[in-house]
Chains A and B, each alone.
Chain A
Amino acid sequence: MNEGRKEIFQIVFVVVGFIFLTKLFFVQVIDDRYAELANSNSILRVVEYPFRGLIKDRNGKLIVYNTPEYDLQVIMKDVRSFDSTAFCNIFHLTRQELRKRFKELKAKKKEYSAVKPMRFLEQLSAEDWARSEDRLDEFPGFYIQARTTRAYTTPALANALGYVSEVSKEQLKQDPAHIYKQGDYIGQSGIESFYEEQLRGKRGIRFRLRDVKGIEKGSFKNGEYDTLSVPGQDLTTSIDLDLQLYGEKLMKGKAGSIVAIEPASGEILSLVSGPSYDPNLLTGKNYSANFKLISTDTLKPLFNRPLMAQYRPGSIFKIAQAMTALQEKVISPETRIVCDRTIIGCHGPHTNEDLRGAIANSCNVYFYTALRRMINQGKANDPFADARIGLNEWDRHIHSFGFGNKLGIDLPNEKSGLIPTPAYYDKAYNNRPWKFSNIYSIAIGEGENLVVPLQMANFAATVANRGFYYIPHLVKGIGKDLKPLSPYTERHYTTIDSANFNIAVDAMQQVVDAGTGQWFAHLSDVVVCGKTGTVQNEPLPDHSVFIAFAPRDKPQIAISVYVENAGQGARAAASIASLMIERYLFKQTRRQYIEDYVLAGKFLD
């Protein structure tokens, strides 16, 4: 039945072999085209790096741009013997260095390739590049690869902008789509990292024909297969570059931060972190050396304080406490509480204040009592259970201001701060019961609470808006689209009624007009609302804190200022905040003596 099938197999095998050999005979012996193509070694792929998007300030002033940079590349198999003296002269090398460079390349076993371009010299200066351009054909195998590196118009805003550097091995591993290749640049922190996708653009590839000597003979098939690089999208930030520069000048020599926000939009007007560094140090040839210096600096210039420094909130927290207590109706604006300093320490000459007075005078006893009434509302008979219910309610309100969570700014590495929850205390007390007397220090902004300066500025903006905020953000426009990313266009309401905010606004005005802020924060022609804070930091001097917004009606700027180890909030921080407000609203410094005082920086005298 299966007669002859064996033969079919044998015939098929032999015929296929015969077909292969015939085809091979045509390809190898008869057709010369392939040998020619191989000789010409034909096609070289040239990578065209895209322009990274530019970064501008809110008025269209350029902050970050690109400058060309030239690498000298080598394709080992194309290298012929060349005049090494001339080569060394052009590129400022000694013969030993030249020899060493070749050796180094060969030593890189995995990356070494005879056919792929490898970087021979990095980032030639413009002069070296110009000098080498027309003489390069004397050195077969060497090519110039042009690409761009970042440059900055000012030494400001380093931590917010972040920096760009070569993509690391780890990052390459975490790039499943293989967007990056070794040697590519990638945003490493700040805006450069957060908006990497928008900024990076797309690489292009050009196919070039080369002859036997490796000299380019134009494009392959008239560029039919070339892809052009696509530049990245430009970013318009909300930063006011003048205000930013002024803020950096004021913070010079100090540790701390300034965050200024436009309350009506959540746009960040300036974001100062002190001490900082010049972003131009982290570009180009000296990146590695400078990065080592900056990252090991004991003053931690890479530490982005507005987002990452966590402080106890201090007295400023009393405004949030006041509104929480009002919302829970355990006090009214008219409630007076006797300042009985046997319960908890207090300061200043006051005895029996109402709510506005208590905020203006920062009365500890008042807020201790208010919080006790809030925590122990008698909703349960057991004092422990009652405290748990009360604290839960309190948390709900405080979190709605954006405290205790990351706000979600468009920068990496934001810290969340800490607002203690019942679960937190359970853990802290090893599941033993706790009640008001264990946790009362949160009443006056001490204790376990932690906030970051950004949250404080956002809080000022929330009060300025009478009850809502937009998530603070730095980028207000991407490419031609003058809108921020969608999370930044949504209003976030607090759990507090808008009417209650008016009490806080009154009190904050009183602070600046007649209270702790009257000497340094008061401005003529505009009503400033503010609150001082002095954060204990034993054994070192206290941190000076001030939040404010202005004008009182239709506020244009909300601000938080932290100056570490500078004593009372009423001095250093209040001065800086008021100077910033003045600069933003009036475009000038009207109180030179305050600026001189800040620049001198002797706040503790």
Chain B
Amino acid sequence: MKRDSDISGSMDWTIVMLYMALVILGWLNVFAAVYDEHAKQSIFDLSLNSGRQLLFIAASALIALAITIIDMRFYETFAYVFYGIILVILVMVPVIGKEVGGNKAWIGIGSFGLQPSEFAKCITALALAKYIGSVGFRMENLRNQAMLFIMIGLPMGLILLQKDTGTALVFTSFILVFFREGMSPFLLIVGLCAITIFILTLLIPNPIYLHIAIGVVLLVLIVTGKKKIRRIILLTVGALLISGVIESVDYVVHDVLKPHQQNRIKALINPDADPLGFGWNVTQSKIAIGSGGFWGKGFLKGTQTKFDFVPAQSTDFIFCTIGEEHGWIGSLIVIGLFIALLLRIIFLAERQKNRFTRTYAYSVACIFFFHFAVNIGMTIGLFPVIGIPLPFFSYGGSALWSFTILLFILIKLDAHRGQVLQRI
């Protein structure tokens, strides 16, 4: 048998190449976002984000290497231990953490800060995979399901306490993994409906229209379907319930919330409602991306993303730089790379022989997907502004390392897929 640490032969190089391509493009973009033609800066300048990002990338390479050398059984064996440790750290962060930008989500080691919530994603993924992959686990068992929700709820709640709503929301992406592993789609459908109804209530000023729409849908369903009494009663009760929910959301939004809070929520859904206040970021972001045209303005030639028009332009709004400097073609390439990465992860997931690795792989896919969809969605105004990074592109060490660890544990586990007993 080959030495455990040498997996270069069985490693999935496609995914590694995709990773490297994204990281390098990300680095160049971080430079473009801070570049100032008057200042004659170098991309390696450590006082710039790009110079520091290069250090983070170098550290990522070391982390990736370390992950491939460590025994593959390590991750599954200690998954619960890590989970326990990260919970303790998350509890302690509000106490020992240092404040960055209004919330205490960082712990300092000397002058250096780490965001434990970033690592919680990866560790929770391992713990969930271990639980789902354990002997005797059955998704149909309600107790097992409840346990899964507790496992994502604990870190999520603790991260919410740090007021890092964006990262906390990432944990909802695990529900998709449960779905893949056999959870009934009922919950997903109900959740989607609830969100749709909530958003519609906010967007449509007079709820009467919604009630009428529901009535019409109800009538259509009754007329077109089988005309059984039981079915008609069920549909009517359902429609009444939905109407009730609409009324209560409407009441909360219009009567309990103060006008400025209403605006905030509306701007979240529809940035055009308040282009200089809460919609400022998205307006500026759209101007920047829109000005890129088909071919873009060229590397380092952007004007909108240079001049602080777009806030948080190196971090959450980094996609603007791509849109502006590389146009639609650049966006196509970056989005194409992300989709390729996601599909490749699914491909790896599906070729696993054991449930632990497959579940973990799906978690990785769903986390990346959530970040990708929400981040780009918000920069182009398709999604409310939620501050989460775009993997490999947003400036910052903790996020980059967390994504690297996520991906390379998968690569490591996949490389050894031939050595594990089938346990599905």
Contact = CB atoms under 8 A, between A and B. Distances in A.
B180 A5 contact: yes
Given A17-B335, A114-B38, A23 B323 contact: no
B342 A13 contact: yes
Interface string A94-116: 00000000000010010011111
Interface string B10-49: 0000000000000000000000000010110000000100
Interface string B169-181: 0000000100111
A34 B47 contact: no
A189 B203 CA distance: 51
Given A28-B294, A29-B293, A2 B182 contact: yes
A38 B339 CA distance: 30
A358 B277 CA distance: 75
Contact of A115 (B181, B307, B380): B307
A106 B290 contact: no
Given A42-B287, A106-B39, A6 B335 contact: no
Contact of B276 (A17, A43, A76): A43
A9 B328 contact: no
A10 B346 contact: yes
B290 A31 contact: yes
A33 interface: yes
Contact of A28 (B275, B293, B339, B381): B293
Interface string B360-378: 0010010001001100110
A113 B343 CA distance: 42
Nearest to B308: A115
B55 to A, nearest CB: 19
Contact of B323 (A6, A10, A28): A28
A6 B346 contact: yes
Contacts of B176: 9
Given A5-B179, A24-B323, A28-B327, A19 B382 contact: yes
B286 A34 contact: yes
Contacts of A86: none
Contacts of B38: 76, 106, 114
A38 B291 contact: yes
Contacts of B369: 12-13, 16
B391 interface: no
Contact of A6 (B47, B290, B350): B350
Contact of A113 (B304, B308, B365): B308
A39 interface: yes
Given A2-B181, A113-B308, A114-B38, A23 B382 contact: yes
Contacts of A112: 39
Nearest to B366: A9
Contacts of B198: none
Interface string A201-217: 00000010000000000
Contacts of B275: 225
B25 to A, nearest CB: 16
B304 A20 contact: no
Q: Is the interface of B mostly helix, strand, loop or mixed?
A: helix
A113 B313 CA distance: 14
Given A24-B328, A76-B38, A225-B276, A115 B346 contact: no
Contacts of A526: none
B373 A16 contact: yes
A14 B287 contact: no
B180 A225 contact: no
Given A14-B339, A21-B335, A24-B328, A114 B289 contact: no
A195 B287 CA distance: 44
Nearest to A7: B346
Interface string B246-281: 000000000000000000000000000001110000
B336 interface: yes
A10 B343 CA distance: 6
A77 interface: yes
A25 interface: yes
A154 B288 CA distance: 54
A25 B307 contact: no
23 contacts: A1-B182, A2-B181, A2-B182, A9-B362, A9-B365, A12-B369, A14-B339, A17-B339, A20-B335, A21-B328, A24-B323, A27-B323, A27-B380, A28-B294, A28-B327, A34-B290, A35-B291, A38-B291, A41-B303, A77-B307, A106-B39, A114-B36, A115-B307
Given A17-B336, A17-B339, 15 more contacts: A12-B369, A14-B343, A16-B373, A20-B382, A24-B380, A27-B290, A27-B323, A28-B293, A28-B323, A34-B287, A43-B276, A113-B307, A115-B306, A115-B309, A220-B276
